[in-house]
Chain A
């Protein structure tokens, strides 16, 4: 087919009329192209330019809700992500941090409340009700049905899927940003409203640099700052 079209453009060789008519070729080509595009578009809906993951919101092993914890319950971000003040990484809390509350809170307030009332009317001790999501947490922590460590089970780390992921050649230090008073939402978006965590901002170099430039002119909280624009501020 390539040779045939080449001959057309060339104009020096005769076109063989016994071959397929021109419009048939065009139609076949268009169908092929369209089909190819559909295959590409459906198969690669989540394909992006290298290292641009804006909007990335992977399914997590446990359907943890930031909206509930950070929004509704107003738990400070640094209760769980305690490293943000002290080091490079904000850190994902170890499972025992979850258990600080969830050793007691085993299901949603409504369910627990209903069971408590029912038990009250039936004059018995309330049953332990564990929500399916928290059951997963207890499984990872190797706890038995009585929420005591089960010798049969080995505790496993929860395989959270990382959402905010900088390339290896960029070094980011949470401590420096938290210290000058940048809010978490500035980079992570309205996490307190997200049921499933999503990467709100592009986290691209241009986005970082623009913020650094703005901070140098406007300051942070009206305090002047020195946000470096040097390459080696992040790349080393």
Chain B
């Protein structure tokens, strides 16, 4: 009996079309007689035996000359640090082995990230060991010594100091007190120095709106943990917006209903594209970005009316959505006054002023919007940037220093800008990789990788975090702090600069520790300190600032929105192959950006997935493959930024080298296409949306490397056994149904009659490892996928191999759509080896390479596997991965990122999730050494450790007091394909949406 929603993974699956066949040109074995087979086998066996004999391999064991106190070979050292992958500055724990950093994990004690770390943060070690990272200063492409580079730069600067001239420093947002101090000191030596901040998708409008409504250019700290009603207009706060790890953790806090307290926050998402946050919303409305103003206007008018305050003087234009939707929203928000949150990612200041007005009417300032300790991470200012661009075009800038951002790649009209940069007397780039801007720079003075550097950060006022070098610099790079100090004429080491900043700006803001050295040591050791905030609360709200919308947006014609991808937030990460191969949480696309359009728009334009279309906006034309995205607004084309980065030519041949290998890059020779030219300046602000867009078919086609139909668990209708029940792979219920009956949604058991296949001849031991994944908390952010890849030495296969369904990720996140129309709901389900007690893979292995362990693990012995792939065929969860090749490991530097605890697998063998058995063994051995029992939580596996939403619990199922055993007995617990009787050790907790029970759900609730 069909119990709940019907889920589908792609439009063709929903419509019952057959899955696309694999490449028909794939080679077929030729006729092969029995005699030829025996000949070949005999020859192979004897050749193998002969080839295997060899003299003992002489291998050197090189000890260090001088030992380091406390460093034991093969033992991990863990240091606190601060993530520098984006301005969010999450707390890090860096695992270092024998002097090399290997794994970045979230720091559980950190007040913001609280143990979480996103996919981008976790992928950082690959950049450290990147052999294409710049290793020293360059002048016009030629290596130069630091002494000469400094001398030449100082000569120019000295002239400017004497003669006067505009010196500009352009950076991305930075919350480092030391960096700000050094930039200030450097610019202070000139008569005309200015610091300009530019982020591709910053929050200049929110800062500008608070300047109007509160008189302070400020970004409040969003406290999702305090919010009972969340209305988000376009903000992807769980995926890419501002500080997604911190927000996901806060959001999660209100999202887990229990039997004692069947309550959840109510989350409404109004958006045009399908964002990660939209997939987790209780209610999702499809609206266009230019309709936000009107929706917020109506909402503000409704709330003002309830508050007894004056509303708009003239009636507002008609709403683009049903009026009762807004009334329902206002009801929810009004009920949760002081504990609600309204946000928008609009880059229009007037929209953000309306957002502030709504939050003010709801008394959210001081509750869910913390203004006493405001967010200091984002400072981009479109006014300041546009003034800089004007100065550049007018030849007013004498010297430009660029760090942490690539303006030539990320700004529109970059050809003009490149020409303007050519006229600047001195352009110095501090980029770590060659990028678009470095081509226009006379000097490239690369800064350290963050793991090689001393840094600090003050993400919110009063929280200062620190980072120490984890290893000596691998190249001749230099800290940006040291570069600025040298160019200021006062050379100093980064250590002294960061320590002095701590002494001057941080130490005085606390009174617990009187001795500075003790304070500093503690700050570096724990990674962060909490001190008094600098700023006080903002002055009162100024209602005069609100301008009610007067015009309604046009109701026809497509719109364009550029956005950030979860795995590739901006072009700084373009050299990271792990992030390119990470399937996007929604589209499941890899190694590309594309134009997402709705199925209806695709039908109207005659476009199919992978058809290359021309996106024309104003005088900009770019060609992109099309990706049909259910849930997208029918009039919206959305494109991700951060692609088409110069230097990504390197990924043309990243996969295995074989005769059918195809290039991994697009027609432009790069990974994806740069969408920054589509950004536009309107009313002095850099806008990510525009309405002058057209989409046209080119007739060309390039298959998208999307994994959405790979490894499907659903049974195609034509292969299902007669009368087989529909398998509920994901289970979902509503809060109303859950409150009525917490077990609601449990389908009828489909257990196989006749009991177990195998006799219970193995007595149960004390340990049985298991996992529970809370699908309600899981946001699909894919941090676990990268965590698993880093921990388990999972190779990157490249775009071509992904197209051939040969991606190697042990842990994937299956994304299912539900709903019949284009207004779909989405469920994310992390899928990994389920470590079945009656594992179907084990029974079919002819060489016993995969067998069960006494502690419940489904083991895979790589050295025993002969690669028949029977196990993968018999796995109902499709989690086994076959090594079709020896994936390239010829970059000696990059190999330093490999985890020495995990075998690097060879060609021809099967692999899959081991539940991080290396961590289990480490925890077990360490407990044994210390003579203590293995405590619950002492072993944390890679995917579990850094989950921002803490959706994964892992531990010993036989220990009734363990967290995983408690989660396993939850009313929401279910196991995927339980009816097969394979007894998986991984369970899931059902999704609960905060909605009234519908008919389907009422049926689902019936047990």
Pick from A56, A97, A157, A168: contact of B903, CB under 8 Å = A168
Residues of B with C-beta under 8 A to A176: 924-925, 928-929
Q: Which of B55, B61, B854 has the most CB of A within 10 A?
A: B61
| Alpha-carbon separation in the docked complex, A37 to B921 (Å) | 47
A176 to B928, CA, bound (A): 7
Give the CA-CA distance A155 to B61 in the complex, in Å.
16
Residues of B contacting A53 with CB < 8 Å? 56
Tell me the chain B residues, 25-58 only, with Cβ under 8 Å from chain A.
52-58
Q: How far is it, in angstroms, between the C-alpha of A89 and the C-alpha of B58 when the chains are bound?
A: 19
Are B857 and A230 interface neighbours, CB within 8 A? yes
CB of B62 within 8 Å of the partner chain: yes
Inter-chain contact A83/B75, CB cutoff 8 Å: yes
Interface size, chain A (Cβ < 8 Å): 53
Those of A169-201 within 8 Å (CB) of chain B: 169-171, 173, 175-176, 179-180
Q: A44-B55, A232-B857 are in contact. Are A96 and B62 (CB under 8 A)?
A: no
- Interface contact B67-A97, CB-CB below 8 Å: yes
Nearest Cβ on chain B to A50's Cβ, whole angstroms: 4
Does B58 lie within 8 Å of A236, measured CB to CB?
A: no
Asked whether B53 lies within 8 Å of A49 as measured between CB atoms, the reply is yes
A87 touches B73 (CB 8 A): yes
Distance in angstroms between the alpha carbons of A230 and B859 in the assembled complex? 8
Contact B52 A50 (CB under 8 A): yes
Among B56, B62, B74, B926, which residue has its beta carbon within 8 angstroms of that of A89? B74
Nearest CB on A from B402, distance (A): 38
Give every chain A residue within 8 A of B66 (Cβ-Cβ): 94-96, 155
> Smallest distance from the beta carbon of B100 to chain A beta carbons, Å?
15
- Pick from B53, B72, B928: contact of A44, CB below 8 A: B53
Question: Cβ of A47: which chain B residues have Cβ within 8 Å of it?
Answer: 53-55
- Are the C-beta atoms of B862 and A83 separated by less than 8 Å? no
Instruction: For the complex, give the distance between the alpha carbons of A159 and B863 in Å.
Output: 30
- Output the least CB separation between A63 and chain B (Å): 16
| Cβ-based interface call for A15 (8 A) | no
- Given A94-B67, A162-B59, A165-B59, are A231 and B859 neighbors across the interface (CB < 8 Å)? yes
Q: Find the residue from A56, A161, A173, A180 having the highest chain B CB count within 10 A.
A: A173
In the assembled complex, A210 has its CB within 8 A of some CB on chain B: no
Q: Is the CB of A49 within 8 A of B52?
A: yes
The answer to whether A236 and B902 touch across the interface, beta carbons within 8 angstroms, is: yes
Q: Which of A82, A86, A88 has the most CB of B within 10 A?
A: A88
- In the bound complex, what is the Cα–Cα distance between A157 and B65 (angstroms)? 5
B867-906 contact mask (Cβ, 8 Å, vs A): 1 or 0: 0000000000000000000000000000000000111100
Give the chain B neighbours of A50 by CB distance below 8 A: 52-54
Q: Which residues, 829 to 878 on B, are CB-close (under 8 Å) to A?
A: 851, 853-855, 857, 859, 861-864
Give A158 Cβ to nearest chain B Cβ, in Å.
7
CA distance A56 to B853 in the complex (A): 34
B123-167 vs A, Cβ < 8 Å mask (1 yes, 0 no): 000000000000000000000000000000000000000000000
Establish whether residues B861 and A231, one from each chain, have CB atoms under 8 Å apart when the complex forms. yes
A158 and B74 form a contact (CB under 8 A): no
Q: How far is the CA of A83 from the CA of B72 in the complex (A)?
A: 6
Known: A87-B73, A91-B73, A231-B853. A160 touches B63 (CB 8 A): yes
Q: Which residues of B contact A134 (CB under 8 A)?
A: none
| Contact call A48/B55, Cβ cutoff below 8 A | yes
Q: A176-B925, A235-B863 are in contact. Are A156 and B65 (CB under 8 A)?
A: yes
Q: Is the CB of A160 within 8 A of B53?
A: no
Q: How far is the CA of A83 from the CA of B61 in the complex (A)?
A: 15
Chain B residues whose C-beta falls within 8 Å of the C-beta of A74 in the assembled complex: none
A129: CB under 8 A from chain B? no
Q: Are B63 and A58 in contact (CB under 8 A)?
A: no
The B interface, classified by DSSP as helix, strand, loop or mixed, is: loop
B63 adjacent to A93 (CB under 8 Å): yes
Q: State the Cβ distance, B641 to closest chain A Cβ, in Å.
A: 40
Interface pair A89/B73, CB less than 8 Å apart: yes
Q: Say yes or no: A161-B61 contact (C-beta < 8 A), given A85-B929, A232-B859.
A: yes
Q: Closest CB of chain A to B854's CB: distance in Å?
A: 6
Main secondary structure on A side of the interface with B: loop
How far, in Å, is A203 (CB) from chain B's closest CB?
12
Given A48-B53, A87-B74, A179-B929, A161:B60 Cβ within 8 A: yes
Q: Are A56 and B63 in contact (CB under 8 A)?
A: no
Q: Most chain-B CB neighbours within 10 Å: which of A50, A176, A231?
A: A231
Q: Distance (Å) between the CB of B44 and the closest chain A CB?
A: 16
List, in ascending order, chain A residues with CB within 8 A of B64's CB: 94-95, 157
Q: Are A171 and B921 in contact (CB under 8 A)?
A: yes
Q: List the B side residues contacting A93 at CB < 8 Å.
A: 63, 67
- Give the chain B neighbours of A83 by CB distance below 8 A: 72-75
CB within 8 Å of A: which B794-847 residues: none
Chain B contacts for A160, CB-based, 8 A: 60-63
How many Å from the CB of B910 to the closest CB on chain A? 13
Q: Is B917 an interface residue (CB 8 A)?
A: yes
- By beta carbon, the residue of chain B nearest A98 is B63
Nearest B residue (CB) for A95: B65
Q: Which of B56, B65, B859, B921 contacts A48 (CB 8 A)?
A: B56
CB-based nearest B residue for A155: B65
Question: B864 to chain A: closest CB distance in Å?
Answer: 8
Indicate whether A230 sits within 8 Å of B853 (C-beta atoms), given known contacts A159-B62, A171-B918. Answer: yes
What residues on A are CB-neighbors of B74 within 8 Å? 83, 87-89, 91
List residues 130-165 of chain A with CB under 8 A from any CB of chain B.
140-142, 155-162, 165
A141's partner among B65, B73, B902, B904 (CB-CB below 8 A) is B65
- The answer to whether B914 has its CB under 8 Å from any CB of chain A is yes
The CB with the most chain A CB atoms within 10 A, among B56, B59, B853, is that of B56
Q: Which residues of A contact B73 (CB under 8 A)?
A: 83, 87-89, 91
Contact, CB under 8 Å: A235 / B862: yes
Inter-subunit contact B928/A169 (CB<8 Å): no
Contact between B75 and A87, CB atoms less than 8 A apart:
yes
Contact residue among B60, B918, B928 (Cβ-Cβ distance under 8 Å from A159): B60
* List of A residues within 8 angstroms of B72 by Cβ: 82-83, 86-87, 89, 91
Minimum CB–CB distance from B856 to chain A (whole Å) comes to 10
User: Which residues of A have CB within 8 Å of B58?
Assistant: 58, 161
**Are the CB atoms of A162 and B55 closer together than 8 Å?**
no
Closest to A53 in B: B56
Interface contact A236-B928, CB-CB below 8 Å? no
A86 and B929 CA atoms in complex are apart in Å by 8
- Does the CB pair A235–B861 fall under 8 Å? yes
Residues from chain A with a CB closer than 8 A to the CB of B862 are 169, 235
Q: Which chain B residues lie closer than 8 Å to A171 at the CB level?
A: 901, 918, 921
A47 to chain B, nearest CB (A): 5
Residue from B54, B59, B853, B903 in contact with A161 in the complex, judged by beta carbons closer than 8 Å: B59
- Measured in the bound complex, the distance between the Cα atoms of B62 and A158 in whole Å is 6
- Taking CB atoms and an 8 Å cut-off, the chain B residues in 926-950 that contact chain A are 926, 928-929
A233, CB-defined interface residue at 8 Å = yes
A94 and B53 contacting across the interface, CB-CB below 8 Å: no
User: Chain A residues with Cβ under 8 A from B857's Cβ?
Assistant: 230, 232
> Which residues on the B side are within 8 Å of A169 (C-beta)?
862-863, 903
B75 and A86 contact, CB distance less than 8 A:
yes
For the complex, what is the distance from the CA of A58 to the CA of B379, rounded to whole Å?
A: 63
Counting CB contacts under 8 A, is A92 at the interface? yes
B-contact 0/1 string along A48-88, CB 8 Å cutoff: 11100100101000000000000000000000001101111
Q: What would 16 more interface pairs be, CB under 8 Å, given A49-B52, A50-B52? A: A48-B56, A82-B72, A87-B73, A89-B73, A94-B64, A96-B67, A157-B62, A161-B61, A171-B901, A175-B928, A179-B929, A231-B851, A231-B859, A232-B859, A232-B917, A236-B921
Offer 24 A-B interface pairs, CB within 8 angstroms, sorted by A: A44-B55, A47-B53, A48-B54, A50-B53, A87-B72, A87-B74, A88-B74, A88-B75, A158-B62, A160-B60, A162-B59, A165-B59, A175-B925, A179-B929, A228-B853, A230-B854, A231-B853, A231-B861, A231-B864, A232-B859, A232-B914, A232-B917, A235-B903, A236-B921
Interface residues of chain B, those whose CB is within 8 Å of chain A, are 52-67, 72-75, 851, 853-855, 857, 859, 861-864, 901-904, 914, 917-918, 921, 924-926, 928-929
**Lowest 3 CB-CB distances: which A-B pairs, in order?**
A230-B853, A94-B67, A88-B74
